[in-house]
Amino acid sequence: MTDTPVEQMTFEQAMKELEAVVGQLERGDVALDQSIALYERGAALKKRCEDELKRAEEKVAAITLDADGQPTGTTPVEGQ
């Protein structure tokens, strides 16, 4: 586990750490108190990933293409 607060992690960082946490828990070679801490960290990481995916889905859903193939919608396109 890293010391980085979950809310400051990118999706990729959270996912990588979540995979490591799941691996440790699946091996079953950690003490009960450490397993509980890993489970709690894993739950927070899972929520972070879900929240980031939801934000990304909302951005994608807000973008539609007009007849000319140009983006339209409520999300501004960067650089325009």
What pLDDT is stored for residue 75 in this prediction? 53
pLDDT higher than threshold 90 for residue 65: no
What pLDDT is stored for residue 73 in this prediction? 62
Buried-exposed string 27-50: b where 16+ CB fall within 10 A, e elsewhere = eeeeeeeeeeebeebbebbbebbe
List, for residues 2-54, the tens digit of each pLDDT value.
889 999 999 999 999 999 999 999 999 999 999 999 999 999 999 999 999 99
pLDDT higher than threshold 60 for residue 57: yes
CA quadruple 29, 27, 50, 5: dihedral positive or negative? positive
What is the pTM for the complete model shown? 0.74
64 pairs with which residues across the strands?
A: 72
CA quadruple 43, 47, 50, 56: dihedral positive or negative? negative
Q: Domains of the chain, with CATH numbers? A: 10-64 (1.10.287.1040)
Three-class secondary structure of residue 80 per DSSP? coil
